Amino acid sequence: MQFETVIGLEVHAQLLTKTKIFCSCSTEFGAPPNTHTCPVCLGMPGVLPVLNRTVVEYAMKMALATHCRILPRCRFARKNYFYPDLPKGYQISQYELPLGVDGWLEIETEEGTRRIGITRIHMEEDAGKLVHDETQPVSYVDFNRTGVPLIEIVSEPDMRSPEEAAAYLRTLRDILRYLEICDGNMEEGSFRCDANISLRPVGSSEFGTKTELKNMNSFRNVQRALEFEVRRQRALLEKGQAIVQETRLWDAGRGVTVSMRGKEEAHDYRYFPDPDLVPVEIDEAWVEQVRSSLPELPDAKRERFVRQYDLPAYDARVLTASKDLADYFEAAVAAFPQPKTVSNWIMSELMRELKRDEREIEDCPVPPAHLAELLQLMDRNVISGKIAKSVFKEMYETGASAKAIVEAKGLEQVTDEGAIEAVVREVLAENPKEVESFRQGKEKLLGFFVGQVMKKTRGKANPKLVNEMLLKALKG
Amino acid sequence: MKEKITREEVRHVADLARLDLNPDEEVQMTQQLNAILDYMEKLNEVDTSQVEPTTHAVERANVFREDVVGPSLQRDSALANAPQTDGVHFVVPKVI
Ligand SMILES: [Zn+2]
């Protein structure tokens, strides 16, 4: 039987506010354990949480960027459960009245653009961090992260393959980063993803039994975990066995998902409205104010790159994949206004080096101004294209500017006709037999002479001039 | 009169609240909770068809703080009431 995969994702994104969602403790990452806590985020009796306005505005930005409808009135609810990383015995979240609902975003797939629905976006607080002792039966709790603002973004079960799920996640992260409200770092946990996945016979409109996957801390792991789960569920269904609805943990080392059997509490969170927090009312004026503050988003930037710089759609998509890369391109083009040349160099030379080092563009040792300077040198025939590539490698390795490298190594292209002519004469004098053959019609030998001249000038002679002058000398 | 809350439900809620009730306490709690719920029934006598549901005694909305860092507790103070610490962390029985 042919099966169709159905995937929905729940993403938690940590917001880049300076302070926590309900108290003025710092959200700074990497502080010594338990130095960013106060009576509010430690859940002491009698304290009063007060909502951080910036959290609401960041959440609104994401809701508007993903075409959600912002509810005119939303409120916070307590989600009750016990876990040592949760000092109050409940998490303040949103339940029946979230901030935004009914949104969507578009992803690029091999079959073209697909629209993925977003069920809801709500605000909530993060929990603390637990570290387990290797030898003793104890765990250590750090409450610095407790109360750091999160938005939870819940998708519709609209994805049909692990690749689509990965594409959705990347798109979501790109938007968050464009908005500058989340750094989107999966490894550090500022961008986390749980997945619901089920299979159903092709053509069926009902959903199959789903499993929930957790513990996937990279894009690659999300895709691998989903691929494994597709194979596991298909094998069971083909044997006529039932899928157990359960939570499974991804084990990246073994490349399998493992049932959390027995460790999971029945989901009975007994949500109720948090009496410590008043409702949030968002009127049209506030929505419009936030909407007008939205930066250019990836889709719009891609269209503009095609229009303004006359780039192919492919180039525009690659260059707008991250805001930093797009900014890099625009900075380089501002200094060297030949967009397609800049695009080619970024997509080939630059991205090859970055990929090899697994570096992000923001850590690129070649600033856009340096790249522009290199392209200028090439454009003015100071260096050849071939030499430019080796200069670029050195710029990337040392951080030095193109001019500095070209000057230090004496790589300027020789365009002085007298100098080239002297070398041409030398080469002809050293190779009388080849000269004779050429003059009797073996014109293929021109390549040999060009090679000899380039060798003597260590690749610095202007190839066009060398050609012209060789022909003149040989035929003249 | 039909029980509003069964002994089974009391056991479940106690379990969620991490309360360890002995059988006598289960019976007692079931009776008491039923008595309380019966009493709350009185509220149903009031006609609320024209009243908006509310979660607050005061009609207020949009109380915010600005995103400005304030002082946090000294770590010693934060850990002062913890049953067990290593001077840096709260220490709890191992959980996975
Ligand atoms: Zn705090």
For position A431, which CATH number holds? 1.10.10.410
pLDDT, residue A262, reads 56
Same domain, residue pair A261 and A343: no
Chain A partners within 8 Å of B84 (Cβ): 138
Residue A170: count of CB within 10 angstroms of its CB: 16
pLDDT, position B95: 80
CATH number where B14 lies: 1.10.20.60
Q: Does residue B35 fall inside a structural domain?
A: yes
- A342 in the same domain as A238: no
Are residues A465 and A403 both part of a single domain?
Answer: no
In whole angstroms, give the CA distance from residue A432 to residue A438: 10
- Chain A residue at shortest CA distance from B64: A51
A167 and A250 both lie in a single domain: yes
| Chain B CA closest to residue A90 | B17
Pick from A84, A133, A280: CB nearest B62: A280
Residue that terminates a domain, selected from A229, A255, A289: A289
User: Distance (Å) from the C-alpha of residue A82 to the closest C-alpha of chain B?
Assistant: 8
**CB–CB of A280 and B78 under 8 A?**
no
Q: CA A373, A174, A108: angle at the middle one, nearest 5?
A: 100
Residue A11 near residue A153, CB atoms below 8 Å? yes
pLDDT at A111: 84
The pTM (predicted TM-score) of the whole model is 0.82
User: Could you tell me which residues come within 8 angstroms of residue B5 by beta carbon, excluding any fewer than 6 positions away?
Assistant: B30, B33, B34, B37
Q: Identify the pLDDT of residue A358.
A: 86
Angle between helical axes of A417-430 and A446-456 (0-180°, round to 10):
120
Averaged pLDDT, B40-64: 84
Q: Which two tokens stand for residue A215?
A: 């513990």
The whole-number pLDDT of residue A266 equals: 57
Report the number of distinct structural domains present in chain B.
1
A182 shares its domain with A202:
yes
Single residue among A272, A289, A306 that ends a domain in this structure: A289
Comparison of pLDDT for B23 and B52, the residue scoring more: B23
Q: Which domain holds residue A268?
A: 3-289
**Token pair of A193 as six digits:** 């993803």
Q: Return the pLDDT at B83.
A: 93
Tell whether A274 and A308 lie within a shared domain: no
Distance A209 CA to ligand 1 centre (A): 41
Q: With contact defined as beta carbons under 8 Å apart, do A301 and A326 qualify?
A: yes
- State whether A232 and A150 are in the same domain: yes
Please give the tally of structural domains in chain A.
3
Residue range of the domain that includes B20: 7-44
Q: For residue B52, which residues of chain A lie inside 8 Å, CB to CB?
A: none
Residue A173 and residue A33 share a domain: yes
Same domain for A260 and A395, yes or no, is no
Q: Is residue B11 part of a domain?
A: yes
Residue B88 lies inside a defined structural domain of this protein:
no
pLDDT in tens, chain A (476 residues): 899 999 999 999 999 999 999 999 999 999 999 999 999 999 999 999 999 999 999 999 999 999 999 999 999 999 999 899 999 999 999 999 999 999 999 998 888 889 999 999 999 999 999 999 989 999 999 999 999 999 999 999 999 999 999 999 999 999 999 999 999 999 889 999 999 999 999 999 999 999 999 999 999 999 999 999 999 999 999 999 999 999 999 999 999 999 986 545 557 899 999 999 999 999 999 999 999 999 999 989 999 999 999 999 899 989 998 889 999 999 999 999 999 999 999 999 999 999 998 888 988 999 999 999 999 999 988 888 888 999 999 999 999 999 999 888 888 877 778 888 889 999 999 999 999 999 888 888 899 999 998 888 888 888 888 888 898 888 86
CB proximity under 8 Å: B 36-95 to A = 55-56, 58, 60-73, 75, 78-79, 84, 86, 88-95
- Residue where one domain finishes, among candidates A289, A310, A340: A289
Same domain, A148 and A203: yes
Q: How far apart are CA A147 and CA A61, in angstroms?
A: 20
Indicate if the alpha-carbon torsion angle A135, A137, A143, A147 is positive or negative.
positive
Distant-in-sequence contacts of B52-61, Cβ < 8 A, 24+ apart: B55/A75, B55/A273, B55/A275, B55/A279, B56/A275, B56/A278, B56/A279, B58/A278, B60/A278, B61/A73, B61/A278, B61/A279, B61/A280, B61/A281
| Residue B31 lies inside a defined structural domain of this protein | yes
Say yes or no: A156 and A302 in one domain: no
A423 and A364 within one domain: no
- Comparing alpha-carbon positions, the chain B residue that sits nearest to A138 is B94
